[in-house]
């Protein structure tokens, strides 16, 4: 014990202050925040209900269809059908749909927030120098740390799970939107400026279209990160496949954990394929349509 780090300042006071402030926010603003995020919750529930209400074979065909459109490969489409069918077969259809709904909603919202942030970041070096370290910290922080504040604000449930997922998954799309825009050929930007384009015209007619392949790569990464976070987030009441894994751990049922894990891997493969193929498509369109 003598070799331990000396207690130079009393951090207990600081910790108490942070906790108190946070509690105050929870008490004062908790309800308003919950109301504010109600539309998001509705969106999530609608997607989930929609997926469950639709007959399973139509859901499978629809996802396989999207996969085929993106990849133009029958093999991929068949692979998707087989994997989703197996998921249903091992009794995990409902949790899988809940996971897909949560992942889609989180990805959608992350893109909605992330692209504008990335654009802002690309337009000002100062903004970039502030955002980069923040994004670094966000990406190195253990996943569980995100859960705590959201659970405190909203209590366990889908909203904190969704928000934690968004916060966790949003950095790649911000980063790559910024990068993509900054990488656009300077001479092209100069030309467009020389012809009198406003910065908005420049953004929409040149920078975003030319950055699209990079932005798509960011969306792809964000999708994958949302999927991995969704599993963790089920610990705070999001349900879905992650909850099955959690139960497997709690009840020491290896089989339950393994099967749910398998279903998660299936979903990861399916969405990775679709997102990547779609990114390639955008790139191809850009270069030789």
Q: Which residues bind another protein (CB under 8 A)?
A: 185, 187-188, 190-198, 201, 205-206, 209-210, 286-289
**Torsion angle of the four alpha carbons 136, 140, 142, 145, in this order, in degrees rounded to the nearest 10:** -20
Q: Which is nearer to another protein, 202 or 273 (CB)?
A: 202
Closest by Cα among 199, 183, 154 to 26: 154
CB of 73: closest distance to another protein in angstroms?
26
CB of 183: closest distance to another protein in angstroms?
13
Q: Which is nearer to another protein, 132 or 208 (CB)?
A: 208
Rg (CA), the chain: 22
Question: Terminal CA-to-CA distance of the chain, rounded, Å?
Answer: 70
Measured distance CA(175)–CA(95) in Å, rounded: 31
CB of 204: closest distance to another protein in angstroms?
11
Q: Which is nearer to another protein, 75 or 186 (CB)?
A: 186
Q: Which is nearer to another protein, 132 or 197 (CB)?
A: 197
Distances (CA, A) of 224 to 120, 139, 166, 198, 234: 24, 14, 12, 36, 16
Q: Which is nearer to another protein, 44 or 115 (CB)?
A: 115
CB of 185: closest distance to another protein in angstroms?
7
CB of 202: closest distance to another protein in angstroms?
9
Q: Which is nearer to another protein, 75 or 194 (CB)?
A: 194
CB of 176: closest distance to another protein in angstroms?
18
Q: Which is nearer to another protein, 57 or 204 (CB)?
A: 204
CB of 210: closest distance to another protein in angstroms?
6
């Amino acid at each position: 014990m003598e070799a331990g780090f000396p207690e130079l300042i009393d951090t207990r006071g600081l910790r108490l202050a942070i906790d108190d402030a946070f509690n105050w926010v929870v008490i004062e603003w908790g309800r308003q925040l919950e109301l504010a995020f109600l539309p998001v919750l509705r969106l999530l529930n609608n997607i989930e209900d929609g997926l469950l209400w639709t007959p399973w074979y139509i859901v499978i065909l629809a996802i396989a269809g999207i996969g085929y459109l993106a990849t133009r490969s029958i093999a991929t489409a068949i692979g998707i059908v087989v994997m989703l069918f197996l998921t249903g077969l091992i009794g995990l259809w409902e949790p899988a749909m809940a996971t897909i709904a949560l992942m889609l909603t989180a990805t959608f919202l992350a893109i909605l927030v992330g692209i504008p942030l990335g654009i802002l970041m690309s337009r000002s070096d100062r903004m970039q120098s502030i955002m980069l370290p923040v994004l670094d910290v966000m990406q190195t922080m253990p996943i569980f740390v995100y859960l705590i504040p959201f659970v405190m604000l909203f209590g366990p449930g889908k909203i904190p799970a969704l928000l934690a997922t968004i916060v966790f998954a949003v950095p790649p799309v911000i980063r790559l939107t910024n990068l993509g825009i900054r990488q656009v050929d300077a001479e092209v930007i100069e030309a467009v400026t020389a012809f009198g384009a406003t910065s908005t015209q420049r953004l929409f007619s040149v920078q975003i279209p030319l950055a699209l392949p990079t932005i798509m790569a960011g969306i792809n990464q964000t999708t994958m990160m949302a999927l991995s976070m969704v599993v963790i987030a089920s610990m705070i009441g999001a349900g879905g496949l992650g909850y099955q894994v959690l139960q497997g751990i709690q009840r020491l049922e290896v089989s339950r954990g393994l099967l749910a894990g398998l279903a998660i891997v299936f979903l990861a493969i399916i969405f990775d394929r679709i997102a990547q193929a779609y990114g390639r498509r955008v790139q191809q369109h850009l270069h030789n349509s």
